[in-house]
């Protein structure tokens, strides 16, 4: 007889909950308790106009049943692909828990108020950095970047509230698929996949 799966989960994969967002909340809380660094780190995959994929790690900065929010420079390569394709995929991997979550869906802009609120919650130096960095563009050396930061720092030295750059904002991935994966013995992993059908979710267990 095969042993029970090797994970630490109490989730019954044969009878999963109907709500993927509640399950996500449980798993992200567990990750916050176990991961040493950035439990909210996620891989963001986009494609360019030629259909070639790009993937990079960004940080989840908000989530609820509306979707999953991250922030970026909209003039960056990432921002350009987001603007032209408007679809993306996310992947969370928590090595200490031997779990991952995959999501696919479309992207919508957060409101200006949401972007302002998050921008002004950041450290002042991070706010200045959003002005100083021309993300994804060539820079000749580190000194050039540091001079740009120093110039912005001087510009806003006497300003209490630094304005948010117009090219810096957030996007919300509205998922139409969420998949939960957990390590199992003999590579007989556990997988359940939620798919959105109009306003409802259907759930199925998948072969590993």
pLDDT tens string 95-143: 999 999 999 999 999 999 999 999 999 999 999 999 999 888 889 999 9
Q: Which of 99, 122, 187, 205 is catalytic?
A: 187
Strand partners, 205: 192
Burial readout 99-135 (b: 16 or more C-beta within 10 A, e: otherwise): bbbbbbbebeebeeebbeebbeebeeeebbbbbbbeb
CA 44 to chain centre: 6
Residue 41 has pLDDT above 50, yes or no: yes
Asked if pLDDT for residue 5 goes beyond 70, the answer is no
Across 7-11, 37-41, 79-83, 106-110, least confident range: 7-11
* Mean pLDDT rounded to a whole number for the chain: 92
Domains and CATH numbers, the chain: 20-74+82-118+170-206 (2.30.110.10)
Q: Residue 1: which pLDDT band, with cuts at 50, 70 and 90?
A: very low
pTM: 0.89
Q: Give the separation between CA 79 and CA 171, rounded to whole angstroms.
A: 9
187 is an active site residue: yes
3 state SS of 100: strand
Residue 57, pLDDT above cutoff 90: yes
The strand pairing partners of 206, in sequence order, are: 191
């Amino acid at each position: 007889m095969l042993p029970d799966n090797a994970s630490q989960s109490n989730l019954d994969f044969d009878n999963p909950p109907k709500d993927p967002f509640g399950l996500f909340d449980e798993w992200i809380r567990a990750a916050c308790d176990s991961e040493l660094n950035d439990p909210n780190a996620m891989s963001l995959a986009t494609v360019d106009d030629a259909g070639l994929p790009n993937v990079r790690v960004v940080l989840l900065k908000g989530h609820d049943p509306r979707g999953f929010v991250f922030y970026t420079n909209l003039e960056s390569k990432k921002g350009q692909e987001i603007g032209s394709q408007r679809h993306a995929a996310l992947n969370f991997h928590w090595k200490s828990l031997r779990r991952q979550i995959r999501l696919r869906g479309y992207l919508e802009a957060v409101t200006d108020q949401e972007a302002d609120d998050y921008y002004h919650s950041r450290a002042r130096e991070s706010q200045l950095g959003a002005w100083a960095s021309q993300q994804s563009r060539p820079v000749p050396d580190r000194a050039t970047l540091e001079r740009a930061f120093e110039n912005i720092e001087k510009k806003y030295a006497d300003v209490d509230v630094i304005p948010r750059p117009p090219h810096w904002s957030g996007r919300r991935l509205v998922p139409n698929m969420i998949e939960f994966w957990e390590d199992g013995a003999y590579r007989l992993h556990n997988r359940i996949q939620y798919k959105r059908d109009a306003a409802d979710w259907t759930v199925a267990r998948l072969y590993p």
